[in-house]
Amino acid sequence: MAHYLIGDIQGCNLTLGKLLETIDFSPSKDTIYLLGDLINRGPDNVGVLRRLMSYGSSAKSILGNHDLHFLSVEKGIKTPKSGDTIEDILNAKDRSSLTHWLRTQPLALMATHYLLVHAGVHPMWSAKQTIGFASEVQIILSSPDYEDFLKEMYGNEPSTWDDGLKGMERLRLIVNVLTRMRFCSPLGQLNFNAKSSLTQGPQGFSPWFEIEGRKTQDQHIGFGHWSTVGGTEKNNAVCVDTGCVWGKGLSAFKLPLNSINDKGTWFTQATQEVAAPFLD
C-alpha cells in the first residue's frame, strides 16, 4: 500500500499514464492524491478526467484555479483565455458527468499526516480550519446553485483574512488562498501579482510557507500551483508542481507511512506532450 502526491497534470494524460507506470500504481492497493489543476493547457483533458474517475476512491483530487476556470467557462460566465485547451471537455458526449464530477471535488484534503491544498494555506489558519473552510466552498460548488457562486467568485478583495468575514467576501478569500496564493505578508495580506521564484517576491511579502509563526508551521503540507519552485521541500511544505505542461516533468511524491519524520520519495516522468505557449 502506497500513497502518492501528484502535481499539476493540466491535461497531460499521456505523461500521467507513464508516471503511473513508473510508480507501479495499483488502484486495488495504492492511492494517488492529485493536487489541483487537473485540466487545461495540455492536450487531453477528457482523458485525465475519465482516467481519474475510473479509479474511484483510489484517486483523490482537489481543485485548482484552472479547474475552477473551466467550470466558469462551461457555464458561460467566463470566455476561454488564450492558451486554454478545454474544448475537448466542452465537446465531449459525457460533458455533463465530467463537469459534475469535477465540481464536487474538495479544495483541501488530509492524506495520512499531510494537509493537501493546490496553492497555499493562510498563516492564520490551522489544518483543521483549512479543511473546514474548504468544505464551505465544496458544499456550494456541489449544490444546484453553484452558478451563482461562480459569478461572484472572481476578484482580489478582500486580501486579508478576518474571522468575521461572511458571504461572498469570505468564500472568495477562501478560494483565493487555496487556489491562487503564493506570496503573503507577515500580517496575512495576499499578493496575487507576483508569480516568480522564492527570492523574487514583492517587497514586504514572502512565500506563504516561509511566514514565521504560521499556525501550520508544524504541519506537513503538500501543494502545487508554483512550478518555478516545484520540487522544493521547506518548512514542512513540499511543492509537487514541477511544470509538466511547460515542457519539464510530472512528479509524484511518495508519502512516508511509518513516521512523519521520514523523507518522502520523488519520481519524475519527462513530459510526453507539447508545452503550452502561455504561463499562468
**Is 178 part of a structural domain of the chain?**
yes
* Phi/psi of residue 67, nearest 5 degrees: -65, -45
Q: Pick the range with the lowest mean pLDDT from 169-173, 197-201, 254-258.
A: 197-201
Q: Quote the pTM value.
A: 0.95
**Is 278 part of a structural domain of the chain?**
no
Q: Enumerate residues 6+ apart whose C-beta is below 8 A from 161.
A: 122, 124, 125, 173, 177, 188
**Is 144 part of a structural domain of the chain?**
yes
Enclosing domain of residue 146: 3-270
**Is 279 part of a structural domain of the chain?**
no
172 touches 153 (CB < 8 A): yes
CATH of the domain at 255: 3.60.21.10
Q: CA nearest 153: which of 131, 130, 177?
A: 177
Q: Average pLDDT, whole number, for the chain? A: 94
**Is 161 part of a structural domain of the chain?**
yes
pLDDT tens per residue across span 104-149 = 999 999 998 999 999 999 999 999 999 999 999 999 999 999 999 9
**Is 276 part of a structural domain of the chain?**
no
User: pLDDT at residue 173 above 80?
Assistant: yes
**Is 277 part of a structural domain of the chain?**
no
Domains of the chain: total: 1
Based on C-alpha coordinates, what's the Rg of the chain? Answer: 17
pLDDT tens per residue across span 51-85 = 999 999 999 999 999 999 999 999 999 999 999 99
Share of the chain above pLDDT 90, in %: 87
**Is 45 part of a structural domain of the chain?**
yes
